[in-house]
Amino acid sequence: MKGKIRIAQEALAGLKDGMTVMIGGFLGVGAPEGLVTEVLEKGTTDLTVIGNDTGFPDKGIGRLIVAKKIKKVIASHVGTNPETGRQMNAGETEVVLAPQGTLAEQVRAAGAGLGGILTPTGVGTVIEEGKQKITVDGKEYLLELPIHADYALIRAYKADEKGNLVYRRSARNFNPLMAMAAKVVVAEVEQIVAVGEIDPDEVVTPGLFVTYLVKKGGSGCE
């Protein structure tokens, strides 16, 4: 092994029960399936997971839901995974729903070092319960706090050996935001190339933010 390149078991060796984990993807598109498989095989449980959604029972975050490895999920919707709704209604898993744009901005705020964001979305609805409201120029806003994580498990199309990441079309989704908001960032990638082989203009996530690279389909990341 050299530099940031690891197999999945090594990259997730520090993931412990009860940690907070961001997982990229939008209905499974752009989800780091190999890393999710490693979390399942590792047996880590009681996780707080942040993601746009809970995927499907057999894709993305949904696989962790079905295996009951999550104690709390923060997402913008859960309708594509019936098991999430069942666990929520049964009191088995805590589900916190947030408007999609608000959730994205909360993650972005964490990565940018902001103390929160002001948004009119949710004012006058159940979303505002327990939250601080601030009036600016006569208009009410909710103060939404940044969301941080211990780990971010993300998916990219290509990386160089320094961890600079390139995404592919809609698979980008939440991945770049999450890469900036966690203590440890593990990127599952399809290709790893030598430094200098990626046009700097293509780089979306600088290697500064990436802790480990795991090649999709490689040892320990099927």
**What is the chain's length?**
222
> CB of 54 within 8 A of CB of 62?
yes
Q: Which two tokens stand for residue 200?
A: 């700097």
> CB of 218 within 8 A of CB of 190?
no
Domain 8-215 has CATH 3.40.1080.10: yes
Q: Report the distance separating Cα 143 and Cα 173, nearest Å.
A: 24
Closest by Cα among 171, 141, 144, 169 to 155:
171
Report the pLDDT value the prediction gives residue 117, as an integer from 0 to 100: 97
Kindly report, residue by residue over 106-163, the tens digit of the pLDDT: 999 999 999 999 999 999 999 999 999 999 999 999 999 999 999 999 999 999 999 9
Q: Are strands 139-144 and 133-136 parallel, antiparallel or unpaired?
A: antiparallel
Identify the residue whose tokens are 């990386």.
159
Which helix or strand (DSSP H or E) is residue 22 part of?
strand 20-23
This prediction has a pTM of 0.93
Q: Report the distance separating Cα 94 and Cα 3, nearest Å.
A: 38
Averaged pLDDT in 10-residue chunks for the chain of 222 residues: 88 97 96 97 97 96 97 96 96 96 97 97 93 96 98 97 96 97 98 95 97 80 45
> CB of 42 within 8 A of CB of 12?
yes
Report the pLDDT value the prediction gives residue 132, as an integer from 0 to 100: 96
Helix then strand count (H, E) for the chain reads 6, 11
Report the pLDDT value the prediction gives residue 220, as an integer from 0 to 100: 44
